[in-house]
Amino acid sequence: MTAFANIMYTVEDGVAVLTLNRPETLNSFTVAMHEEVRVAMNDARTNPEVRCLLITGAGRGFCAGQDLNDRTVQSDAGPLDLGESVEKYYNPFVRSIMTLDKPVLCAVNGVAAGAGASIALACDIVLAARSAKFVQVFCKIGLIPDSGGTWNLPRALGLPRAKGLALLGDKLPAEQAENWGMIWRCVDDDALMSETMELARYLATQPTRGLAETKRLLNESFSTPMHQQMENEKYAMRRLGQSHDYREGVAAFLDKRPPVFRGD
Ligand code: T3D
């Protein structure tokens, strides 16, 4: 496995764990960290041993978005092309999460701000420590919720709450995020990693292809008309009906034994 300086990446029991590892700046993104994340995401995508990905952060924060020290920004300096940074780094990362054909869990261990909050929202199942907070901090520095934030936030919360958070930049506590349906679960801080790992190990034993098609169809549903969505469901069912794991699931049910899914 490649040695990394800004992240940690391990694969065990079918679960890849990607830990953002710049705790002194709350795991904010530098170009160097983006480049390491790209390598890890490529492994998560292509490594057949990986059947579930878990993203988390080291230390007291999950991720504070862009590292504001990674380049010189002065109010009297010339224009900076942030679109290029988004195109080159943030968008590919978010796309690689949302299109990964394996479930992606996020363990939000502390504050998730700016692109850090958007990255958490792009994951399939989000658990957060009770002390964690989500902050749409972009409005405090004259930016917009990037990294898919303007797409995922209103879908998770509806427009009124999405606008309130994005225009005010208030800190949303994990418990409220759970009550509002923005995340799957809020858990006690010391239970976060064990509970998320348990879920990840479980998902890594499930029918990976079926989970991948489910994730894709749910993500696409917001921009697909109903009749087309049902056509797409038909094609997915056709593909999955020919999979090993469908046959195994049915056989195990009829034999009254636990299934052994291979992920194909
Ligand atoms: O390329 C592009 O720019 C385009 C893409 C942009 C996407 C974005 O994410 S834009 C948004 C950038 N992020 C921010 O503006 C967040 C800035 N940070 C904060 O607002 C606060 O730190 C938090 C609300 C996240 C947490 O507050 P708190 O009180 O828990 O912690 P703190 O004391 O502010 O931070 C702890 C340390 O981390 C501190 O360093 P120090 O004083 O101990 O040496 C702080 O400077 C550092 N830190 C936190 N966030 C960043 C950071 N350093 C660099 N960049 C950061 N984003």
**Rounded to the nearest whole angstrom, what is the distance from the C-alpha of residue 64 to the centroid of ligand 1?**
5
Local structure of residue 181 (DSSP, 8 states): T
Predicted structure pTM score:
0.97
**Rounded to the nearest whole angstrom, what is the distance from the C-alpha of residue 25 to the centroid of ligand 1?**
6
- Secondary structure of residue 164 in the 3-state scheme: helix
Pocket probe for ligand 1: among 25, 30, 108, the residue whose CB has the most ligand atoms within 8 Å is 25
**Ramachandran bin of 263, using left for φ above 0, alpha for ψ from -120 to 50, beta for the remaining angles:** left
**Rounded to the nearest whole angstrom, what is the distance from the C-alpha of residue 66 to the centroid of ligand 1?**
8
CATH-assigned architecture of domain 7-203: Alpha-Beta Complex (3.90)
User: What's the chain's average pLDDT?
Assistant: 96
Residue 243, pLDDT score: 98
**Rounded to the nearest whole angstrom, what is the distance from the C-alpha of residue 184 to the centroid of ligand 1?**
25
pLDDT in tens, 2-27: 789 999 999 999 999 999 999 999 99
Ligand 1 binding pocket includes 131 (Cβ within 6 Å): no
pLDDT of 255 above 80: yes
pLDDT of 59 above 90: yes
pLDDT of 73 above 70: no
Q: What is the mean pLDDT of residues 161-183?
A: 98
Residue 62, pLDDT score: 99
Atom of ligand 1 nearest to the CA of 25: 38
Signed CA dihedral, 250, 105, 138, 80: sign only:
negative
pLDDT of 72 above 90: no
Ligand 1 binding pocket includes 80 (Cβ within 6 Å): no
- In total, the chain counts a number of residues equal to 264
Domain residue limits, the chain: 7-203, 208-255
Fold of 208-255: Lyase 2-enoyl-coa Hydratase; Chain  A, domain 2 (1.10.12)
pLDDT of 1 above 80: no
Q: What is the mean pLDDT of residues 53-74?
A: 92
